[in-house]
C-alpha cells in the first residue's frame, strides 16, 4: 500500500502514519485507515482532508475514487479545496457581510467581492493536530480558531473525524464557539467512481432526493428563491446521467469566472431517515455503470451542494501525474444553505456561545 509505520492494529482495522511533505517549514502527516473489508482511505492533517479512498468493484478491482495530490505542498498551492474540511463558513456570503445580534460583520472576501469557504486563511489551509482512535478505525483532527479570525466573531474549538466501518466512511465535524457566531462546515472531496484521473463523470448515474433547489446569480450567489426541481435540469429525483441535461443549464458564474459550466448549486434535501439513525437523511445515490461501484450518502444537513468540476482543467496535475479534465469529479458538500445569514427563511447557521455545532455525513460504498 504505502511505506508507513503501523501505529494501531485492532480487530482487523489498521491505522498507519507517514510523512506527507512540508508546508511553511512544518511537516505534514498522512494516516492510512484500513477497515479490513475492502475500503481503505488516506487522510492528512493538512486541512484535515481526505487524500485517497480505495474502493473495490464487483470483481474486486480497487481504485482510488477521490481527486487530490501527492503531498501537502501541492494542496497548499491549489485553490481547488480537494478533500478539505472547510470552515468557518463554507460556500458564499455576498460581499462578506452579515448581521448577528444587531452587529454588522465584515469577513474576508476571497472570491472577487464575496466570501468563499472561510476566506484566504480558512481551516483548509492549516495543519491540524491529530489523534488516532484506539480501536484503529479512525483519526480525529483538531484545530482552534481565534476570535476575529477572517472577521468572524468568537473563538472556536474544532474537530474533524474520519472513521472506516466496513465499507462505510463516517465523517463528523464539530465546533464549539465561546461567543455567538455563524458556522457552516463542509467536506470538499471530489469523487469519480471510475477512479481519479479516469476522465469525466458525466455518464455516472445520480439520484438526489430533493424537491427544491436554490437558483444562483452571475456571481454564483443564492438569490433567496427556493425553486421546484420539476421540469428543470436540477431534477435528479430519479437516477439519470449527471451530464444528461447540463446543456439546458442557465449560464452561471459569468461575473467571476470564464469558461466554466455545469452544476454548482444547492439542493434542499427531502430524503428519508436512515434506519436506526433518524438524525441522518438520505442525500445521494450514485452509480458508475461500467465498474458497478455505488455510493450512497446520508447527512444531518438540510442542503447538498453538488459541483461537477466545471472549472477544473488538464492544467491541474493530480496524484501520480494524472491530469484532471473538466468534470473530472463531483463534490458532495452537505451544508446549511449558501449565504444563509442573509435569508431568514433559510436554515439558520447561528451557533450560540457554548453550543456544539455538529455535522455527520456517512458515505456507503457497494456494488450493483
The grid cell for 202 is: 458525466
Nearest one of 286, 292, 303, 293 to 361, comparing CA atoms? 303
CA torsion through residues 302, 306, 46, 198, sign: positive
Closest CA to 147 of 106, 96, 181, 184: 181
Taking residue 259's Cβ as centre, other Cβ atoms within 10 Å add up to 9
Q: Are 84 and 188 within 8 A, CB to CB? A: yes
Dihedral sign for Cα 262, 266, 271, 274, please: positive
Burial class (CB in 10 A: 0-12, 13-18, 19+), 14: buried
Q: 356 CB contacts (<8 Å, ≥6 apart)?
A: 174, 175, 176
Residue 75 three-state SS: helix
**Three-class SS of residue 4?**
coil
Strand partners, 258: none
Residues that are catalytic: 188, 333
Amino acid at each position: 500500500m504505502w511505506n508507513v509505520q503501523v501505529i494501531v492494529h485492532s480487530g482487523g482495522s489498521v491505522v498507519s502514519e507517514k510523512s506527507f511533505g512540508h508546508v511553511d517549514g512544518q511537516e505534514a502527516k498522512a494516516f492510512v485507515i484500513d477497515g479490513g473489508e475492502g475500503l481503505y482511505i488516506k487522510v492528512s492533517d493538512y486541512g484535515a482532508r481526505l487524500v485517497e479512498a480505495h474502493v473495490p468493484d464487483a470483481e474486486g478491482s480497487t481504485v482510488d475514487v477521490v481527486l487530490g495530490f501527492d503531498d501537502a505542498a501541492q494542496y497548499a498551492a491549489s485553490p481547488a479545496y480537494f478533500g478539505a474540511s472547510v470552515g468557518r463558513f463554507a460556500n458564499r456570503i455576498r460581499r462578506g457581510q452579515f448581521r448577528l445580534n444587531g452587529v454588522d460583520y465584515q469577513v474576508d472576501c476571497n472570491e472577487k467581492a464575496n466570501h468563499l469557504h472561510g476566506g484566504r486563511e480558512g481551516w483548509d489551509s492549516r495543519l491540524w493536530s491529530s489523534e488516532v482512535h484506539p480501536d484503529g478505525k479512525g483519526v480525529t483532527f483538531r484545530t482552534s480558531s481565534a476570535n476575529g479570525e477572517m472577521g468572524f466573531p468568537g473563538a472556536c474549538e474544532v474537530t474533524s473525524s474520519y472513521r472506516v466501518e466496513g465499507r462505510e466512511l463516517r465523517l463528523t465535524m464539530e465546533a464549539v464557539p465561546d461567543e455567538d457566531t455563524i458556522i457552516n462546515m463542509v467536506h470538499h472531496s471530489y469523487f469519480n467512481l471510475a477512479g481519479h484521473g479516469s476522465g469525466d463523470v458525466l455518464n455516472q448515474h445520480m439520484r438526489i432526493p430533493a424537491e427544491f433547489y436554490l437558483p444562483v446569480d452571475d456571481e454564483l450567489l443564492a438569490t433567496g428563491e427556493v425553486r421546484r426541481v420539476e421540469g428543470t435540469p436540477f431534477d435528479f429525483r430519479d437516477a439519470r446521467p449527471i451530464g444528461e441535461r447540463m446543456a439546458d443549464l442557465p449560464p452561471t458564474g459569468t461575473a467571476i469566472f470564464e469558461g466554466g459550466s455545469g452544476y454548482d448549486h444547492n439542493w434542499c434535501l427531502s430524503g428519508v431517515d436512515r434506519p436506526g439513525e433518524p438524525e441522518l437523511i438520505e442525500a445521494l445515490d450514485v452509480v458508475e455503470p461500467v465498474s458497478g461501484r455505488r455510493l450512497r450518502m446520508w447527512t444531518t444537513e438540510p442542503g447538498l451542494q453538488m459541483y461537477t468540476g466545471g472549472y477544473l482543467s488538464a492544467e491541474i496535475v493530480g496524484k501520480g501525474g494524472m491530469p484532471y479534465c473538466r468534470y473530472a469529479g463531483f463534490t458532495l458538500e452537505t451544508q446549511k444553505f449558501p449565504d444563509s445569514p442573509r435569508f431568514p427563511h433559510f436554515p439558520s447557521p447561528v451557533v450560540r456561545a457554548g453550543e456544539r455545532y455538529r455535522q455527520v455525513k456517512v458515505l456507503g460504498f457497494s456494488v450493483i
